[in-house]
Amino acid sequence: MASLITCPHCGTRPKEEFSVRGAVIARPSASEKDEAWHRYVYVRDNPKGRYQEYWHHAAGCRRWLVVNRDNLTHEVFGVTDAQASREGSR
């Protein structure tokens, strides 16, 4: 039920310790056109199934995390540190 989230820094914790920011979307550069910023701020793919979200471990390590889960079955596939996963994708 996505009730337990395994934080890479703190271990398995109840989900109430976290706050959810929303979909993982690449931030456009400041010089991008309005259309790119509109898509980033307002438009969501909103898939049914696998979803990646930014969660903040507000009552723990206070790190930003990427939670990879299924929004229909509530299965959690993996949790990584947001900065580490961004550096990994570079």
Partner 1 sequence: MRYSALSIIKQALSGNRRWTPAWREPEPKPHYDVIIVGGGGHGLATAYYLAKEFGITNVAVIEKGYIGSGNVGRNTTIIRSNYLLEGNNPFYEMSLKLWEGLERDFNYNAMVSQRGVLNLFHSDGQRDEYARRGNAMRLHGVDADLLDREQVRRLAPYLNFDHGRFPVMGGLLQKRGGTVRHDAVAWGYARGADARGVDIIQHCEVTGIRRGPGGEVEGVETTKGFIGCNRLALAAAGNTTTVGRMADLALPIETHVLQAFVSEGLKPVIDNVITYGAGHFYISQSDKGGLVFGANIDYYSSYAQRGNLATVEETMQEGVSLIPGLSRAKALRAWGGVMDMSMDGSPIIDRTPIDNLYLNAGWCYGGFKATPASGFCFAHLIAKNETHHVSRFMRLDRFERGYVLDEGGKGPQPNMH
Binding site for partner 1 (CB under 8 A): 1-3, 14-16, 19-23, 34-35, 38-39, 41-49, 51, 53, 71-74
Comparing CB distances to partner 1, the nearer of 45 and 87 is 45
Least separation in angstroms between CB 90 and partner 1? 26
Residues near 51 by Cβ (< 8 Å), separated by ≥ 6?
A: 23, 68, 69, 70, 71
CB of 70 to partner 1, least distance (A): 9
**Beta carbon nearer to partner 1, 63 or 88:** 63
Using alpha carbons, select from 16, 1, 10 the residue that is nearest to residue 63. Answer: 10
The amino acid that residue 88 corresponds to is G
Whichever of 20 and 84 has its CB closer to partner 1, that residue is 20
In whole angstroms, give the CA distance from residue 23 to residue 29: 18
The residue behind tokens 């979307």 is 25
Smallest distance from partner 1 to CB 36, Å? 12
